[in-house]
Each structure stands twice: as C-alpha cells, then as structure tokens.
Structure 1
C-alpha cells in the first residue's frame, strides 16, 4: 500500500461511527478510556468541531482507517486529540499524514502552539510527535486522568 492511495478528508457526521470505533479500539487496548473520551466520540460536533476545531480522517478505498483532531483552545493554542490508526494499517505513514494535516490546519488558524496529552505506554506515538518538533512540557491543565505526559509544538 502506498500513501498515494490514502486520502485525508475532513470529518462528516456520516463517519461518526468509524471515528468512534477506531478510537475505542485504541483507548481500550491500552486501558485509557475515560468519560471525556466517550463524550468526544459520541458527540464530536459539541466537543471538538463547534468551537472551531477540526477532525481529519484517513480514508483508504472508502474505509476510514485513521483519525486526528484539533480542539481550538484559548491563548492561541490547539490541542491534538483522537489521533489513531486502525491496527491493520499502523507503521505505514498514515499517522504522519494525519499529523501533517493537523499542523497545517493549526498554521492556517494562526495558533502559536499545539499541545497534546498522552500516556507513557504510547512510546511509538511519542517518537512520532518528537519527529515533528513536539517537546515534553510540564503536565498541567489536563482533563484526562490517564494522561501522564504533555507535549507542545510551537508554531
């Protein structure tokens, strides 16, 4: 599979179930599922999109195989949320396409930084974030109980 067959598309409500299923699989695999995750997955419009956020989806042959979102926050900041790729399609560069779409969108929005909350178990994800210039910062302002890592990218 080449990345040329992967499309990065904006979220549409018809993809809500795929968005939810992909993220649930990922979160449950690492025992990280929390109520705030369920809120976001059940109502992405309310929790991500309505206040100027974005969700990008990776599509291959009309199947949604990856997701990543940006929540617009205060102080010229966006938060990277709900980034995952279907287990059968990991390590193929799809996460890179999703993170690049999010960084590009954040630049268009004129934000100064992107933050993310993660967990120490997710080593591969952290390595990806570091490749794109994210650095570890003091963990604060997290609404995720399971988050024990915060990273930031200054744009």
Structure 2
C-alpha cells in the first residue's frame, strides 16, 4: 500500500537512504556540500510510504507569508512515472496545503540534468523563469540553475 503522510522524525533514515540512492543515478553532484549553515527545514514536509518504507518526499518552505518554495521533491527511481502518479500526488498535496494557507505562488529551483522534472513542472502549470525574476528572499540551492513559478491565484480564476 502506498500513501502520503506528514513527515515525522522516524522517516529521516528512510529519506537519507533514498537521497543516497538517487545521488548515484547522476554523474554530477545533486546535493549541495554540507556547510556550517543550518539548512532550513520545510515548514510542511510529507513523505510517500510504500509498505511502510519511504519512497518519496516533498516539502514547502513559506517565506514571510509571501510565497512557498518547493523543496526536497524526490522519488525513488522505481516509483517515478505516470503509472504510479506519485509525483503528481506529492505536487497536489503541496498545492492544496499552500492554497489552504493563503500562499499565492510557489517557486522552485532545479538542476539542469533533471530534464524529466522540468517537463513535469511545465505540464503541471509551472512557468519557467530567469534567475533574476526570483524574489530577493528566495531560498536558493547553489546547484539550481533552472527556476519555475506557479501562480495559484490563476487556478482560482480559471
């Protein structure tokens, strides 16, 4: 059985294992180097469990009640794709939560090598933007080179 649940600290080891598995899929580094700066924990964080094991995650950080930043969206390789629909389920979970919390825009950054993710975001209403179009207080991963925004107010009108 597969389900999305709110993150609890008990899920962290599964997330760490999943991140290590994903990292070996790519020649280029996909996680920033560890620094002395404490990483910002998402304001809301969900995991996908399949038979009790972590197979995916997504988080959102709210910046000054102005906008959300999609963070840590990942799935184990064998759970990606339309047949599972888990990427869409994770994204819908974030969108619902942000709308419920009166957040009008979601921004995200991703890396050049994540072509499938870029296509997914475009298909789900995200618009690619230039780095200089990001809000000044956007929480940027230094490895991100491709940026997107989704205006949730447009969803309410359409």
Once the two structures are superposed, what CA deviation does each residue of 1:7-42 show, in whole Å capped at 9, x if it has no partner?
1100001001112222333245332221369954xx
Aligned to 1:102: 94
List structure 1 segments (4+ residues) > 4 angstroms apart after TM superposition.
36-40
Please give the alpha-carbon distance, in whole angstroms, between the structure 2 residues aligned to 1:79 and 1:72: 6
Question: How many residues in Structure 1 have an aligned counterpart in Structure 2?
Answer: 142
Deviations 1:83-137 (A, max 9, x none): 1111222212111111110111111111110000001211111111112210011
Kept in 1, the 8 Å contact 2:109–2:140? The answer is no
Q: Which residue of 2 aligns with 1:61?
A: 51
**Structure 1 counterpart of 2:156:** none
Kindly tell me: are residues 27 and 154 of structure 1, through their superposed partners in 2, closer, same or farther at Cα, counting changes over 3 Å?
farther
Q: CA deviation at 1:62?
A: 0.8
Alignment gaps of 5+ in structure 1: 41-46
- In structure 2, runs of 5+ residues without a counterpart are 133-137, 153-158
Q: Which residue of 2 aligns with 1:130?
A: 122
Q: Which residue of 2 aligns with 1:20?
A: 16
What's the counterpart of residue 72 of structure 1? 62
Structure 2 counterparts to residues 138-149 of structure 1, below 5 A? 138-140=130-132, 141=138, 143-149=140-146
Conserved 8 A contact 1:36-1:144: no
Larger Rg: 2
Bigger mean CA offset, 26-35 vs 12-21: 26-35
Aligned residue for 1:24, secondary structure, equals: helix
Q: Once superposed, what is the RMSD of the aligned Cα atoms? A: 2.1
Structure with the bigger percentage of helix: 1
Is 1:83 the counterpart of 2:73? The answer is: yes
- 1:11 partnered with 2:7: yes
Q: 1:66 to 1:152 in 2, by over 3 A?
A: same
Contact 1:24 1:33 in 2 (8 A): no
Aligned residue for 2:131, secondary structure, equals coil
- Aligned match of 2:41: 48
Contact kept in structure 1, 2:57 and 2:74, CA below 8 Å: yes
TM-score, normalization by structure 2: 0.81
